[in-house]
């Protein structure tokens, strides 16, 4: 029986607590990847230099839950290790039952982090979910560090389609595993070689939006469309129509559905928004605030005129009696109005000057927007050119910057200008930090420090991901 052969022995096994990433039990300056045995049904036996104090059995069972170190600049070995791990997870996802024993033995399923179900089919689902979790980590860090790989879309699509469309929504881990499919899809999407493959995976996301009872699944699919799919793809139009119908047919979550339409830059907003913004006294606060925010994302004269009218009637003509909510609405209206500046420069600048002169509570915002207007941060290197006139010195700064800031290729010219504005005064300090192996990373438009000495660690469910 499965339980007697695997689960019973597994539950009696003693597992050490996963060591700290900062103080891992296995250390070494390199890996001997040549001695990794070929992947088989039952065994995976890695061999690491610097780990001679562990027995072969300890390596087999426990090594994959340790944090591992190699030289940070050894990119080739790092990618070899990541590719080796990807092969494991693909096997575990495609032929889960055949590789289940290996997953138990190598911590692909770990009792410390996973509550092991008693039903055999549920165990297979748990194993697939863990493999998907590991693959999403793999593809995220692959993109993060700019590694090159070829994606076999035909390998993943049948599995993803079966999970999304055929796996019952009331089954074990249904919400979790379908969400993981969409998380993987968004990381794999940019690696797909042709539009036909992209379209197949896009339709899986639309299927979840139309049919899933779980908000987390819908949200994962929606985020995939918003962040990764070009706005001129037909699937975006279909998604816009779906949420427009949601807006029309439901009196609940009006602000939430309107916000989604804004993120999708839906053309229907050109009609919806003026009706809301031009009658502020009849709207609830959340809906009005959302409509004003959306108006900054729709480049149309109707939306600009609605914002301008709102600022004059609610803000400038009532500046001595503004309450807290009106101030918040006014702040959002100014930011949204500024998004139209390219098409309405004179009118926008005039309103900012009037705000600056009449309303002390909004002076900081108006001055900041005027500063942005004068610097034109949408142009490449506009801030650097104003602060570092010498082309040679700018080039030298950029060479220093790329040693401690990664992922610049994912930022727009405007975002890079704001980044330079923030770090330029601190460049000497940051360069000194870099000597001690500090590194900065761009995450959601913020700059975050990270430690670069580690290659990676196993996640809680036993998956490996690159640091």
Q: How far is Cα 452 from Cα 439, in angstroms, rounded to an integer? A: 7
Query: Which ranges of 229-298 would DSSP assign to H, the alpha helix?
Result: 234-249, 254-263, 269-277, 285-295
Q: Which H or E run contains 427? A: helix 427-435
Q: Angle CA(282)–CA(285)–CA(287) in degrees, nearest 5?
A: 80
Q: What percent of the chain has pLDDT over 90?
A: 33
Checking if the pLDDT of 422 tops 80, the result is no
Checking if the pLDDT of 196 tops 60, the result is yes
CA torsion through residues 379, 380, 383, 386, sign? negative
Q: How far is Cα 31 from Cα 66, in angstroms, rounded to an integer? A: 14
Judge contact between 439 and 406, C-beta under 8 A: yes
Q: How far is Cα 331 from Cα 293, in angstroms, rounded to an integer? A: 10
Of 89, 97, 207, give the one whose Cα is nearest residue 156.
89
Q: Let me know if 28 is exposed, middle or buried by CB neighbors in 10 A (0-12, 13-18, 19+).
A: middle
> Which of the 8 DSSP states describes residue 312?
I
Q: Which H or E run contains 365? A: helix 363-375
Lowest mean pLDDT among 133-147, 270-284, 362-376, 422-436: 422-436
Q: What is the pLDDT of residues 374-412, one digit of tens each?
A: 666 667 888 888 788 888 888 888 877 776 676 677 677
Q: What pLDDT score does 119 carry? A: 84
pLDDT, average across residues 288-306: 93
Judge contact between 31 and 51, C-beta under 8 A: no
Of 210, 275, 269, give the one whose Cα is nearest residue 238.
210
Write the Ramachandran bin of 380: left for phi over 0, alpha for psi from -120 to 50, otherwise beta.
Answer: beta
Confidence bin at 203 (pLDDT 50/70/90) = very high
Of 436, 456, 451, give the one whose Cα is nearest residue 26.
456
Ramachandran angles phi, psi of 360, nearest 5°: -60, -30
HSE of 176, CA atoms in CB hemisphere, 13 A? 13
Judge contact between 364 and 375, C-beta under 8 A: no
pLDDT, average across residues 326-343: 91
Q: Angle CA(344)–CA(350)–CA(356) in degrees, nearest 5?
A: 130
Q: What is the pLDDT of residues 41-71, one digit of tens each?
A: 333 333 333 333 333 433 333 333 333 333 4
Q: Which H or E run contains 457? A: strand 454-458
Q: Residue 449 corresponds to which tokens in the numbers above?
A: 């420090």
pLDDT, average across residues 347-360: 90
Provide the β-strand partners of residue 457: 465
Q: Residue 83 corresponds to which tokens in the numbers above?
A: 């590719």
Provide the β-strand partners of residue 441: 406, 448
> Which of the 8 DSSP states describes residue 108?
S
Q: How far is CA 31 from CA 49, 74, 83, 192, 337, in A?
A: 6, 10, 14, 31, 56
CA torsion through residues 410, 415, 418, 422, sign? negative
pLDDT, average across residues 255-267: 92
Q: How far is Cα 456 from Cα 79, in angstroms, rounded to an integer? A: 11
Q: How far is Cα 219 from Cα 447, in angstroms, rounded to an integer? A: 26
């Amino acid at each position: 029986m499965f339980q007697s052969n695997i689960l019973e022995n597994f539950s009696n096994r003693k597992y050490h607590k996963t060591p700290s990433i900062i103080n891992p039990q296995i250390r070494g300056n390199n890996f001997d990847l040549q001695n990794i045995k070929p992947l088989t049904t039952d065994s995976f036996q890695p061999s690491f230099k610097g780990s001679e104090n562990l027995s072969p059995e300890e390596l087999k069972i426990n090594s994959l839950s340790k944090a591992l170190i190699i030289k940070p600049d050894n990119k080739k070995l790092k990618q070899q290790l990541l590719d080796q791990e990807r092969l494991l997870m693909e096997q575990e996802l495609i032929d889960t039952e055949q590789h289940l024993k290996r997953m138990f033995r190598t911590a692909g399923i770990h009792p410390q982090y996973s509550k092991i179900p008693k039903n055999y089919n549920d165990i297979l689902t748990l194993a697939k979910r863990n493999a998907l979790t590991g693959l999403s980590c793999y593809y995220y860090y692959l993109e993060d560090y700019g590694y090159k790989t070829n994606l076999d879309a035909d390998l993943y699509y049948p599995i993803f389609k079966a999970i999304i469309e055929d796996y019952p929504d009331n089954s074990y881990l249904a919400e979790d595993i379908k969400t993981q499919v969409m998380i993987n899809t968004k990381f794999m999407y940019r690696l797909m070689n042709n539009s036909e493959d992209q379209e197949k995976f896009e339709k899986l996301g639309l299927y979840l939006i139309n049919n899933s009872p779980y908000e987390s699944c819908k949200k994962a699919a929606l985020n995939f469309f918003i962040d990764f799919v070009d706005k001129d793809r037909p699937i975006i139009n279909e998604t816009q129509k779906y949420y427009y119908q949601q807006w029309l047919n439901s009196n609940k979550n009006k602000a939430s559905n309107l916000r989604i339409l804004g993120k999708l830059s839906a053309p229907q907003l050109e009609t919806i928004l003026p009706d809301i913004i031009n009658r502020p006294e009849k709207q609830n606060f959340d809906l009005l605030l959302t409509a004003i925010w959306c108006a900054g994302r729709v480049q149309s004269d109707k939306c600009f005129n609605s914002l301008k009218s709102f600022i004059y009637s609610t803000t400038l003509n009532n500046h001595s009696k503004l309450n807290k909510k009106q101030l918040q609405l006014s702040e959002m209206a100014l930011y949204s109005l500024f998004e139209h500046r390219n098409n309405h420069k004179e009118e926008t600048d005039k309103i900012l000057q009037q705000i600056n002169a009449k309303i002390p509570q909004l002076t900081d915002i108006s001055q900041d927007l005027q500063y942005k207007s004068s610097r034109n941060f949408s142009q490449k290197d506009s801030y650097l050119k104003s602060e570092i006139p010498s082309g040679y010195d700018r080039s030298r700064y950029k060479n220093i910057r790329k040693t401690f800031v990664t992922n610049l290729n994912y930022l727009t010219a405007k975002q890079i200008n704001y980044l330079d504005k923030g770090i330029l005064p601190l460049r000497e300090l940051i360069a000194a930090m870099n000597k001690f192996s500090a590194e900065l990373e761009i995450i959601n438009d913020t700059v975050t420090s990270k430690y670069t000495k580690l290659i990676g660690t196993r996640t809680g469910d036993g998956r490996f991901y690159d640091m």
